[in-house]
Amino acid sequence: MDAVYLHGPGDLRIDDVEPRAVSAGTVAVDVEYTGICGTDLHEYEVGPVPIRAEGTDHSIPETEWDEYLPKPMGHEVAGTVSEVGNDVDDLQAGDRVTLNMVAACHDCRYCATGKYHLCERGDGGVVSSRGFADRIVVPSSMAVPVPDDVSLRHAALAEPLGVSLRGVRRAGVGPTDRVAVFGAGPIGLGVIAGAAAAGARAIYVSEPRAARREAATALGADVVLDPTDVDAVEYIQRETDRVEAAFECAGTATTLTDALRSTAYGETVVVLSVFEEEVPIHPNDIMQAERELVGSFGFQGGPLASQSEFTAALELIADERIDPEPMITETVPLDSVGSAFEELRDPSSEQIKVLVEP
């Protein structure tokens, strides 16, 4: 069958591969939709990216790429179960599912305390799932049933929405809070939708691209600013005397500093971006204001997957408290995946979330 593999920066190929067999504890899923993730784009630009690798400066040396390349691509998957392995009794052929790809070793210190999304199994590893393909085989624990009133098109966004909802949860956003979101790509838009669902009092957004500003408004933003025309920090400080929570969703030094300086003293800034390189910040923006700068990574999985932000995303879609449709700008066939990656990389593009339909 055809499947998309990364062979190096800018080198994305549709390879002819053998379908994987179903074994005990696994299921095969006929893929209906797979979203192109920001992490996919990041790897397309710079090569395989580790999930965590502090000892190697958050990168994989090119001399070690042979261990990871070529690597399968695509992990925002929704489809229909076509085959189940032995020992699988909670799923059957015909079930509609989306995939929570959090894998857990069950042995490390993080798994021992229920932090399965921080499992040490991911240290230095890469996301290697074959989602840009007709069919994918995964452990049955990763297949999450899709509610009857949620389309598979929208279920494919449970993964990025789960990431966003964890960020909102990390900030503890509630009805008395005003929030600022810097960057309205898929994760930032999910934060806007999640903050609105949490009852945030007001949501301010800074985003330079017009289509993303329009989507931000559709998903619940109260004020949307173009930072090329308006000083977002100055505006937010003037209108709110600083917000109670800010979210960095663009991955630049400017947006990180802007998020800090838009946040009230003693409040929280959440970083959800994957940064391509180190960026400078002034520690006094944290220390002298007693701000909390926290990271937010992925969403819960493993044995706690049913309690995760991923599952909550599906429920919020089913309850019509989140409508993912404004995030989806195009659906393309598998043979157009390369051109879709190139368009998403273009800083002038108005694309947001592109779904691949194998």
Instruction: Give domain status of residue 314, yes or no.
Output: no
Asked if residue 225 lies in contact with residue 161, where contact means CB atoms within 8 angstroms, the answer is no
Q: Indicate if 260 and 129 belong to the same structural domain.
A: no
What kind and span of H or E run contains 159?
helix 158-171
Q: Indicate if 124 and 20 belong to the same structural domain.
A: yes
Predicted local distance difference test score (pLDDT) of residue 123:
67
Tally the domains of the chain. 2
- Cα→Cα distances 249→215, 271, 274, Å: 15, 7, 9
Q: Indicate if 57 and 192 belong to the same structural domain.
A: no
Q: Indicate if 265 and 149 belong to the same structural domain.
A: no
Instruction: Give domain status of residue 198, yes or no.
Output: yes
Q: Indicate if 271 and 343 belong to the same structural domain.
A: no
Instruction: Give domain status of residue 70, yes or no.
Output: yes
Nearest partner of 271 among 124, 166, 348, judged by Cα = 166
What kind and span of H or E run contains 82?
strand 76-84
CATH number of the domain within which 213 lies: 3.40.50.720
Asked if residue 317 lies in contact with residue 324, where contact means CB atoms within 8 angstroms, the answer is yes
Predicted local distance difference test score (pLDDT) of residue 124:
65
Q: Indicate if 37 and 104 belong to the same structural domain.
A: yes
Residue partners of 308: CB distance under 8 A and separation at least 6: 100, 102, 162, 299, 300, 301
Q: Indicate if 250 and 123 belong to the same structural domain.
A: no
Instruction: Give domain status of residue 313, yes or no.
Output: no
Q: Indicate if 187 and 268 belong to the same structural domain.
A: yes
Nearest partner of 309 among 167, 146, 150, judged by Cα = 167
Instruction: Give domain status of residue 19, yes or no.
Output: yes
Q: Indicate if 191 and 280 belong to the same structural domain.
A: yes
CATH number of the domain within which 93 lies: 3.90.180.10
Instruction: Give domain status of residue 25, yes or no.
Output: yes
Q: Indicate if 65 and 126 belong to the same structural domain.
A: yes
Asked if residue 170 lies in contact with residue 294, where contact means CB atoms within 8 angstroms, the answer is yes
Q: What predicted TM-score, i.e. pTM, was given to this entire model?
A: 0.96
Q: Indicate if 153 and 6 belong to the same structural domain.
A: yes
Predicted local distance difference test score (pLDDT) of residue 126:
66
Instruction: Give domain status of residue 305, yes or no.
Output: no
Amino acid at 342: E
Residue partners of 224: CB distance under 8 A and separation at least 6: 184, 204, 205, 207, 213, 216, 217
Q: Indicate if 130 and 276 belong to the same structural domain.
A: no
Instruction: Give domain status of residue 136, yes or no.
Output: yes
Domain boundary among 277, 295, 313: 295
Domain carrying residue 201: 160-295
Asked if residue 9 lies in contact with residue 45, where contact means CB atoms within 8 angstroms, the answer is yes
In this prediction, the residues of the chain whose per-residue pLDDT falls under 70 are 123-126
Instruction: Please spell the DSSP secondary structure of 228-288, one letter per residue.
Output: TTS-HHHHHHHHHSSEEEEEE-S-SHHHHHHHHHHEEEEEEEEE-PPPSS-----THHHHT
